[in-house]
Amino acid sequence: MKAVWIALLYVCLFGLSIYVYSTQLNGPDADLHQRLLPVEIKTVKAGTSKNELKEIVLDAGKDGDVLSIAGMQHSQGGQTMYPNGIMIDMKPYNQIIEVDEDAKTVTVQSGARWADIQEAINPYGLSLKVSQSQNIFTVGGSLSVNAHGLDIRNGGLSDTVLSMRLMNADGEILQLSTSENSELFSAVLGGYGLFGIILDVTLQLTDDELYETQTASMPYSAYPSYFKQQVQNDPDAKMHLARISIAPDSFMEDMYAITYKSAKDQNLLPEHQKLKTENLVAVPKFFLGLSRINDAGKDNFWKAQKTYTKQINGNLVSRNNVMRSDSEFMEYDNSRKTEILQEYFVPVDQFEDYIPALKTVLEANPDFNLLNVTIRYVEQNDNAVLSYAKEDMFSLVLLINQGTDAESIQATQDVVRQMIDVTLAHNGSYYLPYFGYPTKAQMKEAYPRTEEFFDLKDRFDPEHRFMNLFYEEYRP
């Protein structure tokens, strides 16, 4: 009898522990994520106020030090670091300065994470117009990589920035927007921290809304027309993503799509407004773990994803919760291997020709361990000097598992360069925050204004106070 009581008490404690763990301690890992690119830096400094940041900048000027700016450091090409430089950690500079309910705007310090903003604006029934699919990143980081997300109606992240303030290499604070210092504004968006420190940002918000999840499955060739008819031309469709199979059974053929459409009955919104936390990490992590190992694992992962997608059809979810995609299950700790991302953009009309061409490259390289391909939509956008959305495009994000030794890096580089060539041949472009695999020539072709970008850098920061490895690698 005593044993029964002990067992009961234990079960209660077990549940309580898991509850506390999943609700409170599930924050992002603050570790550095620079496994492929170990760089010795001099020191890391953090500023929590404008004055402290100014002091760091002015001291660096006096001492001839080089500064790099870091948020969550998930860029993979050394955009946040420079050898023997001082890294400014922006994470503590994270206050939500003001939520203006009437104007539907929020002003935040650049180290604030998207999750922090969501927590601040959700009680007002407000929502971000555009954010990255994962909410673990800092606002300053996302702007510096000119990120995009699942939203298909509000353009790019840069379209939602009403204004921001930038501290330049002289410690001066400049107001930037499309009408003020607009040249610098379009260089700082997707500027990889080369022009100064983004201090605070005012973002345009929209109303939180209840969505109904609509899922579908199709061959890749049917996807562009599905997208145009069922998603783009349906004014109720607000957010969208799709995945294409990497499983051997249906490699680069089979797809599923998830679209979030305005629900008929918005009165149900309050029931769904509570922000969700990441709970079931173990299940997707288990399947992703299997798919890293072999083909059978990949087949199982794809089947599990498709089953899951079918199940969520019709589910109601708030806009804010759609913008909180899980990411923790992707965390990966291995001393000899790491996981990298690639992202390619192709015009909507090129998609059908592009996929078989990409497939040919991948099939010719059977050792290339591709784990996932997520497809989203980006509208034509030229706010940034380094704009990747030259027309309305599909973006493909590739998750790749690779070794960290020189041979593996070389092998991945070969495949990546081939994939980029194929992408460029289809009038596409690629995303810049990742490891420096692409050649300078490829960058120039994907980004015709590359030279202008680096010239602007040299003009606005002639002493190169702000530097990173991306500049070193790609300055023409």
Q: Give the residues lining the site for another protein (CB under 8 A).
A: 2-3, 6-7, 10, 13-14, 16-18, 20-21, 25, 29, 31, 281-282, 285-286, 289-290, 328, 331, 333-334
Is residue 4 packed enough to be buried (19+ CB in 10 Å), middle (13-18) or exposed (0-12)?
exposed
Residue 330 C-beta: closest distance to another protein, Å: 12
3-state helix, strand and coil shares in percent for the chain, rounded to the nearest 5: 40, 25, 35
Considering beta carbons, is residue 21 or 264 the nearer one to another protein?
21
Residue 282 C-beta: closest distance to another protein, Å: 5
Confirm if 258 and 297 have CB atoms less than 8 A apart: no
Considering beta carbons, is residue 8 or 222 the nearer one to another protein?
8
Considering beta carbons, is residue 18 or 58 the nearer one to another protein?
18
Considering beta carbons, is residue 24 or 179 the nearer one to another protein?
24
Considering beta carbons, is residue 134 or 215 the nearer one to another protein?
134
Residue 322 C-beta: closest distance to another protein, Å: 24
Joined together, the tokens standing for residue 276 give 């969700």
Distance from C-alpha of 460 to C-alpha of 68, rounded to nearest angstrom: 16
Confirm if 244 and 355 have CB atoms less than 8 A apart: yes
What b/e readout covers 234-264, taking b as 16+ CB neighbours within 10 angstroms?
eeebbbbbbbbbbbeebbbebbbbbbbbebe
Residue 303 C-beta: closest distance to another protein, Å: 17
With CA atoms as reference, report the closest residue to 265 among 302, 194, 211, 187.
Answer: 211
**CA separation (Å) from 109 to 47, 74, 104, 118, 138?**
11, 19, 17, 14, 9
Considering beta carbons, is residue 29 or 271 the nearer one to another protein?
29
Considering beta carbons, is residue 103 or 280 the nearer one to another protein?
280
Amino acid symbol at 462: P
Residue 358 C-beta: closest distance to another protein, Å: 29
Helix, strand or coil, per DSSP, at residue 42 = coil
Distance from C-alpha of 352 to C-alpha of 355, rounded to nearest angstrom: 6
Residue 2 C-beta: closest distance to another protein, Å: 7
Residue 289 C-beta: closest distance to another protein, Å: 4
Residue 24 C-beta: closest distance to another protein, Å: 8
Amino acid symbol at 340: I
Considering beta carbons, is residue 124 or 286 the nearer one to another protein?
286
Considering beta carbons, is residue 282 or 312 the nearer one to another protein?
282
> Computed over its alpha carbons, how large is the radius of gyration of the chain?
23
Joined together, the tokens standing for residue 44 give 């890391």
Which segments within 101-226 are labelled E, that is strand?
105-109, 126-128, 161-167, 173-176, 197-207, 210-219
Residue 462 C-beta: closest distance to another protein, Å: 39
